[in-house]
Copies of this chain bind each other. A is one copy, B any other.
């Protein structure tokens, strides 16, 4: 990168940070817990959101913002679960930015409890962009391999929680969940770790409870 490129990138990130701070302030004022889900393509973000929707929708009001390069597919899957969803297609960009969330936010009902943001499937680019979320969770699916945290450290360093997905495939794979968790924790001590299979439903209740606790904490601070 030339000095000019570095300066352009610094400008972009500073602008994004400002937009993210405004979003965070607004969401906190509304008492909404925003969660940014980040992972490689196909790690199971949408399937996890479907499973969370089933567990939370009777007691809480949810909304989902979906990020993808192309297609409305993921938003359609979420809507099929009775949850309002907005699809952002970046048309080429490998991550969401705060201003994209800001644009959609005006359409999201004010009286919701959870706003889940599914980032573009990418374990690199989204890590640098704060979207104004309260919690950032990185997903790592068992078929991806337990060697990934050290190879993509920024995604794990900037996360609050690690979700090891597709645990139902572990018997067929050279994947050690304890090794993956330990490596992620060596990068980011204090990371909350969840292991689950959204397809089978194993472990999803624990993650849902973690989000509910975080929502209650957010609202108690506000009160």
* Contacts from A to B (Cβ < 8 Å): 4-5, 8, 12, 40-42, 68-71, 73, 92, 94, 120-125, 141, 143-145, 147-148, 150-154, 166, 168-169, 172-174, 199
Contact = CB atoms under 8 A, between A and B. Distances in A.
A145 B62 CA distance: 25
Contacts of A8: 4-5, 8
A80 to B, nearest CB: 14
A186 B120 CA distance: 22
B41 A144 contact: yes
B42 A141 contact: yes
A122 B144 contact: no
A133 B34 CA distance: 43
A209 to B, nearest CB: 26
Nearest to A95: B124
A193 to B, nearest CB: 18
Contacts of A125: 94, 122, 124-125
A81 B69 CA distance: 37
A153 B42 contact: no
Contacts of A70: 150-153
A7 to B, nearest CB: 9
Given A40-B40, A41-B148, A70-B153, 18 more contacts: A5-B8, A40-B41, A40-B121, A40-B144, A42-B144, A42-B148, A69-B151, A70-B152, A71-B150, A94-B94, A94-B122, A94-B124, A121-B123, A122-B123, A122-B124, A125-B125, A143-B143, A169-B173
A164 to B, nearest CB: 13
Given A124-B125, A143-B166, A169-B169, A151 B68 contact: yes
A92 to B, nearest CB: 7
A40 B42 CA distance: 9
A133 to B, nearest CB: 21
A69 B124 contact: yes
A50 to B, nearest CB: 12
B151 A71 contact: yes
A154 B125 CA distance: 16
Contacts of A123: 40-41, 121-122
